Amino acid sequence: MTRPKLSVVIPAYNNAPYIEATVESVLGQDFGDFELIVADHSSTDGTADLLGKYADDRRVTLLSTPAGGGAPRNWQRVTAEATGEYVKLVCGDDLLYPGALAAQVAALDAHPSAVAVASRRDILDARGTKMIGGRGLQGLSGLVPGEEAIRRTVRLGTNVFGEPMCVTMRRDALERAGGWDGRFPYLIDMASYTKVLFHGDLYALRQVVGGFRVSAGQWSVALVAEQARQAKAYHRWVAGQLPGGLRAADVWQGNRRAELAALQRRLFYTLFRSRLSPR
């Protein structure tokens, strides 16, 4: 069998209220040369039962991941089964918009030096209603050197690339980088993109390709504080790893902005808590 152009992988965990909409948003794409691999991480809310309806779809492979190991274990597990030239991870509660796969595949096809393409997204509440439109990339557009994109995300103290469903990577580039990097658990996506972008360009596609769903489980005062702490640790790590280096001023600026982002995130969750539950 010939391998597909693209592998879409979904690491599902207790996503029962959302998983069907997520899967349907992938299967409904107008780009046909893809496989969809879903690994359920021993969910306790019936997610696996809901996924069973897709067992007969030839595009879909369903897997089960034993409990333990956190998100990195399931992300690595589901991605290890991918066979496509490109790979895209979509969390089990997010949505892809029509045309997302075709647009990102076309961008990578047209720019051989790009190891990843990133796009903008909408921020959705738990019920799928748009709260904020067209977030991401922070001014990046077109072909951007990987080191420049990494410096931008450090200086701004935020993930300019977006959540996993915003990004499609060359699978061999992700493998060369060691796969998903869990050293900063709340920043597993950003750290992994960074390792990939050490070795190639980013294509910043300003199209809005999907919706990132915000839910109550993503918020607590302690969690928001830990995200800021890990962002600072990420900045220190990048400063030591980036081939062209980082100025101390860039790291300082990124740290202050990460602290501000944490405060803004806490305020957002507090103001909109009533919209963060699926019911």
Residue 124's nearest CA partner among 102, 153, 91 is 91
Mean pLDDT of 172-180: 96
Every domain of the chain and the residues it spans: 6-274
pLDDT > 60? residue 220: no
Query: How many C-beta atoms lie closer than 10 Å to residue 138's C-beta?
Result: 16
Q: DSSP assignment, residue 61? A: E
Bigger pLDDT: 271 vs 9: 9
> In whole angstroms, what is the distance from residue 45 CA to residue 82 CA?
26
Query: How many C-beta atoms lie closer than 10 Å to residue 143's C-beta?
Result: 15
Q: Residue 121 has what pLDDT?
A: 97
Class assignment of domain 6-274?
alpha beta
Mean pLDDT of 135-139: 94
Side chain identity at 89, as an amino acid letter? L
Mean pLDDT of 177-199: 94
Q: Residue 235 has what pLDDT?
A: 96
> In whole angstroms, what is the distance from residue 117 CA to residue 119 CA?
7
**Which of 49-53, 72-76, 164-168, 221-225 is predicted with the least confidence, judged by mean pLDDT?**
221-225
Determine what percent of the chain is predicted with pLDDT higher than 90: 81
Query: How many C-beta atoms lie closer than 10 Å to residue 249's C-beta?
Result: 9
Q: Is the pTM of this model over 0.85?
A: yes
Q: For the chain, give the mean pLDDT.
A: 93
φ/ψ of 149, rounded to 5, equals -65, -40
Q: Residue 226 has what pLDDT?
A: 86
